[in-house]
A and B are shown apart, each in its own frame.
Chain A
Amino acid sequence: MNVSQPSPQGTGETGATSEFLVEARGIVKRFGDFTANDHVDLAIRPGEIHALLGENGAGKSTLVKMIYGSLQPTEGRFFWHGEPVTIADPGTARRLGIGMVFQHFSLFEALSVTENIALALTGDHDMKALGERIARVSRDYGLPLEPRATVADLSVGERQRIEIVRCLLQEPRLLIMDEPTAVLTPQEADQLFLTLERLASEGCAVLYISHRLEEVKRLCHASTILRHGKVVARVDPSLETAASLARLMVGAEIHSIRPKQPRTGGPTRLYCDNLDLAANGPFAVALAAVTLEVRAGEILAIAGVAGNGQSELFDALSGERRVDRPGAVVIEGTPCGHLGVTARRALGAAFVPEERLGHGAVPAFRLSENVILTRDTLVSDAMRRIAGFLDFRRAGKTAARVAQTFDVRKGKPDPEARSLSGGNLQKFVVGRELDRKPLVLVVNQPTWGVDAGAAALIRQALVDLAGEGAGVLMISQDLDEIFEIAHRIAVISRGHLSPGYDAHVMSLEKIGLLMGGAHGGPAHVDEAVKLREHDGHAP
């Protein structure tokens, strides 16, 4: 539990230094005045799945980037099999036997699977032979891949398989995985765990970064916990609870969310009737006959693996993309499929897009200026009629109020949006919309990349908003979040939206099936669930 000396999971073996596959000793990384890693020690044995835990900005990514050679430490050394090494660049790391699966994929969309993998291998390869090898290895590890497919056409789960197979072909000694399950269905994640356990049993070490503490508990043999760039604990995660791990990461108790109020059959706030939307690019998804209803007082969550039409649905609901048929989208009883964003806001709707910087907020604008962008009521009517002057004082007050309510931490009173960290900006963008007391809130990935404390704050705000009688539509890939606060859950898959099921009749299994493309309509899915239950799978 407590900070111990660098002898992870102290099993008493204190013999040769080569007991560890890789060691980091006293690693310091500074970016200007900011210390991202402060004398970090980390040691991983061969065959060990080692979790690296910490909040956003705790320095996890910085540390693994140094191990992978894409960043250089300011101080400190790395040791490989006990020998000091300088990992000057990713090429050096790969030659040592370090492979990395990135959080944001490092694939080339326009190239084929084989080409993507060939780029990561040294030397010249016969493409045909390599393709056959990829097909064989990927089948062998239960990660099937079509070597000739173009990456742009593949799902996120398939893309991750490419990254993993790419690492496997290099026969790595250490595999670094940065939040690998964030984009996977539960079934895909299970398959990944099997693969990792097999790799570990073959002697490959895995450094595993994840925010999902339950899976860390299940999978990992050891863990190192970072807070503000320092190692605060080394624990065996299987002996901890998710709550105790979270406490170590945050350094304080995370307040639990007040129970959501039961869903009441209030008036319909948002209604979508057979909404069709054509794909607007080669890699976009078309929406097909999406029907949904959000009533007052409820949170409807839309689950799904990224890239299945979530952003298209958000655009259609917010009015960024309009449809010809006004009745396709109805906000507060007003058909508005043909109306733009501002007109829909005037009906009482508010929208929080997934991408906060550049979409939810203008990076170079101050917070107060960003407040003005999503509201027109900030201008007193008489003045607006004359010349459309802006009331900056009122905007400043609103920004300050939002910052205070949502605990937005900032360096100066009214900073530019881009100077805020991701989590703080997300709190601000959500808070800005909630401050308007909307009747309908459509929010895409409300807590994406936000640490546990801030996520709890945002989820609480959504629950409270619904409690006050608004209708909330939440698009999220975080199933824990969905089960925590949603009243009803629908699943989007390749542009098709399932009906909304009551949260208490939904199971991870069922969501997984719906995500994985059980497209045959709800009856089909229920049947599939029943079949699997027959086979002895608990729902």
Chain B
Amino acid sequence: MNFDLHALEAVLLTIVTASTPLLLAGLGELVTERAGVLNLGVEGMMVMGAVAGFAVALTTGSPELGIIAAALAGAALAVPFGVLTLNLVANQVATGLALTLLGLGLSGLIGERFVGQPGVRLPHLHIPGLSDIPFFGPLIFGQDLLVYLSLALAAVVSHVVFRTRLGLVLRAVGDNHASAHALGYSVIGVRWGAVLFGGALSGLGGGYLSLAYTPQWVENMTAGRGWIALALVVFSSWLPGRLVAGAYLFGAVTILGFFVQGLGIGVPSQLLSSLPYVVTIVALVVISRRRGAARADTPACLGQSFVPDR
């Protein structure tokens, strides 16, 4: 009984760490897309965040500085995307894809000398007393900083997007950029802010991988998580609450797949590793179907370039 509880606790802890990077990157992309910008470079920005976070944490010895570096690196990679798509009106899809390739290549180059080096792990919170409560203590009071940050950010994003004027302008720009411009809002300015925020959170998500999930640097270590985050944003109908559910569901099914494999049950491993994708898509599709077709949440201007006429 006691052993089982420990096993369950371990599984739940891993689920949290597997879900957090998806949640962080997804939240960033959600804000970007709410402003009407489709940035397919999430994977590239994540992997840049991973290598920058790892490198800075290793050289300074401070994982906190690593986190900041990861966010800055993600935002930095979003800068060329912003210049190209917002100021020079390049195609967002093509630019985003190029950004992913750029990020993967650049991170490999930068990270070459860090391959195989032991990393610095982001410390877990420890509140004397509370964190020592069996089972619930480590789960609720013993996670690392970024886990709490990601959940708090989800709440903040939800509040800002739906309850504040800033969020109203953000949604307006994504829904009808021509009207937003006609009303005197800076479409390009709002989109720049959203793109940089998206880049920073993607970078954070990547940094979480190399500082908490597996504290080491491996080339291409994001392994497609950027694409999952992108898909989660769409399937969550651009709603932060549902994004949290989607990210954790995906994380849970991934870890359970590993667990089942570990038990030696005769299911092909390929099937198990494809399971999270199937489950997440099915679950989110079912949720979004239920809300009825009356409201379309898709930002109407998603992926469209804006050129003000002068």
Contact = CB atoms under 8 A, between A and B. Distances in A.
Interface of A: 70-72, 89-91, 94, 102, 105-111, 115, 118-120, 124-125, 150, 152-153, 281-283
B296 A106 contact: no
A37 to B, nearest CB: 15
Contact of B295 (A91, A106, A118, A282): A282
Interface string B270-310: 00000000000000000000000111110110000000011
Interface residues of B, number: 24
Contacts of B171: 108, 110-111, 115
Given A108-B171, A111-B168, A283 B296 contact: yes
B178 A153 contact: no
A111 B175 contact: yes
Contact of B294 (A90, A106, A124, A282): A282
Nearest to B178: A106
B296 A120 contact: no
Given A111-B171, A115-B168, A124-B165, A106 B182 contact: yes
B264 interface: no
Contacts of A124: 165
Given A72-B310, A118-B165, A106 B175 contact: no
A152 B173 CA distance: 16
A108 B296 contact: no
A86 to B, nearest CB: 14
B183 A106 contact: yes
B298 to A, nearest CB: 8
A106 B176 contact: yes
B295 A110 contact: yes
Contact of B168 (A109, A119, A282, A283): A119
A109 B175 contact: yes
A150 B310 contact: no
Given A118-B165, A282-B295, A110 B300 contact: yes
B72 interface: no
Contacts of A119: 168-169, 172, 180, 183, 185
B170 to A, nearest CB: 11
Interface string B149-165: 00000000000000001
A194 B308 CA distance: 35
Given A90-B183, A102-B182, A107 B176 contact: yes
A261 to B, nearest CB: 45
B173 to A, nearest CB: 9
A125 B169 CA distance: 13
Contact of A111 (B172, B181, B182, B309): B172
Contacts of A107: 176, 179
A533 to B, nearest CB: 39
Given A115-B168, A119-B172, A108 B293 contact: no
Nearest to A115: B168
A68 to B, nearest CB: 8
Interface in B178-237: 178-185
Contacts of B168: 111, 115, 118-119
Contact of B176 (A70, A109, A150): A109
Given A110-B171, A119-B172, A153 B294 contact: yes
A110 B183 contact: no
Most buried by A among B165, B171, B178, B294: B165
A109 B176 CA distance: 8
Contacts of A71: 309-310
A480 B179 CA distance: 31
Contacts of A125: 165
Given A106-B183, A110-B171, A153-B294, 4 more contacts: A110-B295, A110-B297, A110-B299, A111-B175
Nearest to A102: B182
Contacts of A281: 293
B295 A70 contact: no
Contacts of A106: 176, 178-179, 182-183
A478 B23 CA distance: 53
Most buried by B among A107, A118, A119: A119
A451 B182 CA distance: 26
B167 to A, nearest CB: 10
A105 B165 CA distance: 22
Contacts of B297: 110
21 contacts: A70-B181, A70-B309, A90-B184, A91-B183, A106-B176, A106-B182, A107-B176, A108-B172, A108-B175, A108-B176, A110-B175, A110-B296, A110-B300, A111-B172, A111-B175, A115-B168, A115-B172, A119-B183, A120-B183, A124-B165, A152-B296
Nearest to B298: A110
B162 to A, nearest CB: 10
Contacts of B179: 105-108
